[in-house]
Amino acid sequence: MKYNWNIKHEGEVADVVETLLNNRGIKDEDRASFLNPDWETGTHDPFLFTRMQEAVDRLFLALEQGEKIVIHGDYDADGMSGATLLFTAITEVAEKLNFKLDLSVFLPDREKDGYGVAKHTVEKFIANGVQLIVTVDCGIANADEFDLAKDAGIDVIICDHHQLGVRLPTHAYIIHPLAPGETYPNKHLCGTGVAFKFVSALIIEARKRGADLPEGYEKWFLDLVAIATVTDVMPLHGENRVLEKFGLKVLNKTRRLGIQQIMHFAGSEQGQVDTQTIGFQIGPRINAAGRIKHASVGFNALSATNIIDAEKFAGELELLNRDRQTISRAAAAEAKKMVEDRKSSEPILVVWNDSWNPGIVGLVAGKLVSTFGVPAFALTKVGDKYVGSGRSVGGLNLVEAMRSCGDIFIKAGGHPQACGLSIESEELLKEFQTKVVKYGKEYFGAEAPKPVTDIDFVLPLEKMTRELFTDLQKLEPYGEGNKPPVFVAQNLKVLIAETIGKTKTHLRLSVTTPNGKTAKMVGFSLGDFASELNAGDMVDVAYEIVENEWNGNITLEGRVVDIKVL
């Protein structure tokens, strides 16, 4: 049993949809909009951002005067998608208004540049005569770097959503939902979502200036917003739910040749893409570029305008993703052994290995979280410093945890649930380990609690019907803040529990129900249960209901989430 179970609804279920909405805390007055997201009423005017008009005016000034503009993105799927959105939209606006455009995109190298905007990058922009920097998914924590830009006469527009730095780049045009005094209602946009709002405002202004851009033109960028919102694990409530719902519609008929080819290599059928497809197939392939090689591969795939480039760069993403899987699997196994060898219970894990690829340390940290149920940091050596990522669980804010450790970082920042950091030496890394573990003990108490998984209600496997599944689909899209429903089937007898898959990390479970029905279930990354279960064991199984297609036949299947031995 990997989790403590919290059964949200006990007893009979009169109305499945109403019960699920209750379990998710959706208020009565919000239920209609939750079940039927509406574009007109569910999205906000981009000019509600306090400095949006100023930022749009500054970009138009740059276009009118033919200034050298550079878009600075990030090396993850959010940063690549946002850079693609900005580059494509600004190019289109300039073309419609007959502006001579001098626009380029810069995506940082994970090892050479690190997270955010590096000082040497700004110095390069200065040397190249850049006059305007537009960031996406980065920049809010780079006040010192943008001081250099200001001194050189370079203006900066920041489209970001990360945790605010100690000092803000106040001379920049900041479009950030969490900026001090910001009035924009949605505080949970991803970086690409912020860029989409900027582009939406840009298009409104372009139309006023005579650009022939049809109503709704901006919606064609929602495929990128849908990808970024899921891969950056943003909550799917309010405006985000509307953006994701309509983004999936666009994604399922996307015109982007690169995305079409990524889907092709992933075996995803256009027209059948949902948030799970993004999270487990599309997103990892895009992210593989920044993890294993360079984010430019992902950007080139997303922005490809001909089939030759689309096939080339999507094919490269496919190969990089396979490399990523092999490398991360080996590193995660090493990290797991490190923790097990310590033979101690720590509320926050810190592991490092000088030989790990810096692109996969976030995946290693995430694997530790899922294995041990506590927050984790994983680091590796790059040059003469240690760089890494953190992943959280149990409500612990990683940014606050790092701040509690004092001034021992070269860089540190990100989100409460996922962060990045760099440290100068192994000595300071050990100091960080000591301090952050102490913080964890103070936060959690003597021992970190086992993670909790919410279970909607008890549902015998015999009641897993097509009618029920149709009801479940009314709650889509699923994602952060609106997880797929989880049920529990009780008093099952184990027939077979075995590992499956090339790496033998997945579980195939055959059981009989109290009514004598035999059922087969699958659990991804739950292969460890195979060695814990024996034929004849009585168990309760927490599971999701999914569709399984085989030889053209579509059936419903229980996907194992957790198992309790009785």
Task: Tell me what the mean pLDDT of segment 69-91 comes to.
Answer: 98
CATH of 4-33+453-565, one of 3.90.950.20, 2.40.50.460, 3.40.50.720, 1.20.120.1200: 2.40.50.460
- Considering only CA atoms, which of 304, 333, 330 is closest in space to residue 317? 304
Residue 448 has pLDDT above 80, yes or no: no
The predicted pLDDT at position 471 comes to 94
- Per-domain residue ranges of the chain: 4-33+453-565, 40-215, 344-444
* Phi, psi angles (nearest 5°) of residue 266: -80, -10
| CATH architecture assigned to 344-444 | Roll (3.10)
Q: Which residues of 495-526 are buried (b: 16+ CB within 10 A; e: fewer)?
A: eebebeeeeeebbbbbbebeeeeebebbbeeb
Report the C-alpha gap between 216 and 212 in whole angstroms: 12
Half-sphere exposure of 458 (CA within 13 A, CB side): 7
CB 401 within 8 A of CB 348: yes
Note the pLDDT tens digit of each residue in 218-270: 999 999 999 999 999 999 999 999 999 999 999 999 999 999 999 999 999 88
Report the C-alpha gap between 270 and 267 in whole angstroms: 9
CB 541 within 8 A of CB 560: yes
Report the C-alpha gap between 360 and 352 in whole angstroms: 12
| CATH architecture assigned to 40-215 | Alpha-Beta Complex (3.90)
DSSP 255-288: --HHHHHHHHHHTPPTT---HHHIIIIIHHHHHH
| pTM score | 0.92
Q: Which residue has the tokens 């005094």?
A: 181
Task: Tell me what the mean pLDDT of segment 368-393 comes to.
Answer: 94
Note the pLDDT tens digit of each residue in 391-427: 998 889 999 999 999 999 998 888 899 999 999 999 9
Residue 449 has pLDDT above 90, yes or no: no
Sheet holding 68-72, edge to edge: 102-106, 68-72, 132-136, 155-159, 173-175
**Residue bearing the bigger pLDDT, 328 or 411:** 328
The predicted pLDDT at position 322 comes to 97
427 class by beta-carbon count within 10 Å (0-12 exposed, 13-18 middle, 19+ buried): exposed
Report the C-alpha gap between 168 and 292 in whole angstroms: 31
3-class SS of residue 499: strand
Residue 205 has pLDDT above 80, yes or no: yes
Sign of CA dihedral 82, 278, 543, 33: positive
